[in-house]
Chains A and B, each alone.
Chain A
Amino acid sequence: ILNVEQSPQSLHVQEGDSTNFTCSFPSSNFYALHWYRWETAKSPEALFVMTLNGDEKKKGRISATLNTKEGYSYLYIKGSQPEDSATYLCAFSGDSGGYQKVTFGTGTKLQVIP
């Protein structure tokens, strides 16, 4: 089983603060890195899928970067709002596990305090 780690495990920020989280994954045999947002009592929803080293993706106030050579991805939230409160998951797929196998990290739980 591949090791995908996310940090921090949880985070409390004030409304308006910017924040970022980290996802670490195996640096060899990379195929794709996904970010999902998971709100309580709902299903995970895709934010980004990144496949190339150096990829940067943006959706509104949320953006992500990818470094496949060193095996990490950052997710940034600019000007956090209460509706950003959720668990943010990253998921990795790579050749050593089979391209179609997906390994999730345990997530970063974000709470934005109004």
Chain B
Amino acid sequence: EAQVTQNPRYLITVTGKKLTVTCSQNMNHEYMSWYRQDPGLGLRQIYYSMNVEVTDKGDVPEGYKVSRKEKRNFPLILESPSPNQTSLYFCASSTRLASYEQYFGPGTRLTVT
């Protein structure tokens, strides 16, 4: 089954404790992206990647890191999480470019206390 998976689905953590949210897709997609969703603000792009070893900042990259060492995986790293990073996070992938439809993962609900 073609899908984007994210882990964990739910996470409660404390300020400053490094964490990684994994994202994996099995569709051989070149393009992958991370978004956060906050009430009233909609989905905002954090980082995106056009292919292995090619990543770039979205609109809200501060406090996040990403890597793309393999085509299928695109982890989101929070080196020192803060309460303002409490949010619902989505990973998405698409064929080649942003002009193609994106397939979204199930979301990760992160709470930083």
Chain A positions within 8 Å of B, measured between CB atoms, are 1, 31-32, 34, 36, 43-46, 48-49, 51, 89, 91, 93, 98-107
Contact = CB atoms under 8 A, between A and B. Distances in A.
Given A32-B98, A93-B98, 7 more contacts: A89-B42, A98-B56, A99-B99, A100-B97, A103-B59, A106-B41, A107-B42
B74 interface: no
Contact of B90 (A44, A48, A51): A44
B43 A31 contact: no
Contact of B104 (A31, A44, A98, A103): A44
Interface stretch (B11-19, B44-52, B77-85): B44-52
Given A89-B42, A103-B59, A49 B90 contact: no
Given A100-B31, A106-B42, A107-B42, A46 B101 contact: yes
A98 B59 CA distance: 11
Given A102-B45, A104-B44, A49 B99 contact: yes
Given A100-B48, A100-B50, A100-B56, A43 B98 contact: no
A46 to B, nearest CB: 3
Given A49-B99, A99-B98, A106 B104 contact: no
A43 B44 contact: no
A103 B99 contact: no
Contacts of B43: 44, 89, 91, 104
Nearest to A106: B42
Name which of B31, B40, B43, B56 has the most chain A CB atoms within 10 A of its CB: B43
A94 B103 CA distance: 20
Given A43-B107, A44-B104, A89-B43, A101 B48 contact: yes
A89 B43 CA distance: 9
B87 to A, nearest CB: 14
A93 B42 contact: no
Contact of B102 (A34, A103, A106, A107): A34
In the A-B complex, the 10 residue pairs with the closest CB atoms: A46-B101, A32-B99, A43-B104, A106-B42, A104-B43, A93-B98, A100-B98, A104-B42, A1-B59, A44-B104
